[in-house]
Amino acid sequence: MDLVLSLILQIVYVIANLALISLGLAIIFGMMRVINLAHGEFLMLGGYTVVVATNNGVNLWVAMLILAPLVVGVIGVIVERLLIRWLYGRMVDTLLATWGLSLLFIGLITSIFGASTSTTISPPLGVVTIGEYTSSGYELFLIGVTVALLIGVYLVLKFTTLGLVARGTMQNADMAAALGVSTSRIYMITFGLGAAVSGLAGGLLAPITGVLPTIGSIYIAKAFITVISGGSAILAGTASASVLLGGINGVVSFLTGPTLGEVALLLAAIVLLRLMPTGITGRFFKKSQ
């Protein structure tokens, strides 16, 4: 019983982890149709923000929850102004440009901090005991943050003027412009928001995975698979795809090992996209768009 409970907790954590690394991409790719191959590097920059800040004496929580999204959000806005805004609607060009951007970030961070950084940030919050089993309290915290983040993004998109205008702009930019909305500003804010969410995710993951300039490559494929499997409704899609893929990955990893766990995740995504080429929300939860 204790094992089952602690295992369920572990699988929920795998699901939350997947949702956390995908949400920023879901905003940028799902809403704006910008294929952001530098998504992994946004996560990486969030991690480095936390490392640099804590090394300079900033409180870990402030660094993770405030500085990481702030810094990466600003970087996102700069990137949008200098690079992305010239390339809207040109999918292949954005793909190439953001790939270049990803290489640039990796190179830049490597030359500043070296290829490996000594980070001794331990995950805070101690240990949670379930009968004879123990879990990391920080993993529980991450599950909570992910849920809060999903709800937060939902509330912003659904109930604020900014959210309404942003959704309107993504649906029909010309009409929004005719109604007096500055679409260019909305694009910039949305991209910055996506980058900020990625930065927050990267910052939160730094104590668990450590930080390397190339750590983005570990996340990018999984994030894209999750977002594409989720389909066009960014929140319901990311959440449902994370539950499905993360659940399969967690169960198979426990039963066999991490290699087959990854294989099962990829296989599930292939089968899913073969059956539902527009993703889960192309078939179900259509109202959530």
| Residue reference for tokens 């405030």 | 66
Residues 6+ apart with CB under 8 A from 144: none
Q: Does 123 bind another protein (CB under 8 A)?
A: yes
Site for another protein in 259-278 (CB under 8 A): 259, 261-262
Q: Does 203 bind another protein (CB under 8 A)?
A: no
Tell me the per-residue interface mask from 33 to 72 with another protein, x by CB under 8 A, - otherwise: ----------------------------------------
Contact 284, 231 (CB under 8 A): no
One of 113, 154, 254, 284 touching another protein (CB under 8 A):
254
The distance of closest approach from Cβ of residue 135 to another protein in the complex, given in angstroms and rounded to an integer, is 6
First and final C-alpha spacing in the chain: 39
Q: Is 114 exposed, middle or buried (0-12, 13-18, 19+ CB in 10 A)?
A: exposed
One of 28, 37, 166, 212 touching another protein (CB under 8 A):
212
Contact 19, 150 (CB under 8 A): yes
The distance of closest approach from Cβ of residue 216 to another protein in the complex, given in angstroms and rounded to an integer, is 12
CA separation for the pair 84, 229 (Å, rounded): 24
CA separation for the pair 110, 155 (Å, rounded): 38
Count residues contacting another protein (CB under 8 A)? 45
- Token pair recorded at residue 7: 């295992």
Q: Does 224 bind another protein (CB under 8 A)?
A: no
Contact 45, 106 (CB under 8 A): no
One of 60, 70, 181, 218 touching another protein (CB under 8 A):
218
Contact 26, 183 (CB under 8 A): no
3-state SS class at 143? helix
One of 85, 90, 100, 126 touching another protein (CB under 8 A):
126
One of 115, 148, 164, 271 touching another protein (CB under 8 A):
115
Q: Does 134 bind another protein (CB under 8 A)?
A: yes
Residues 6+ apart with CB under 8 A from 289: 232, 233, 281
One of 81, 87, 113, 136 touching another protein (CB under 8 A):
136
Query: What residue ranges bind another protein (CB under 8 A)?
Result: 3, 6-7, 10, 13-14, 17, 110, 114-116, 118-120, 122-123, 126-127, 129, 132-139, 207-210, 212-215, 217-218, 250, 253-254, 257-259, 261-262
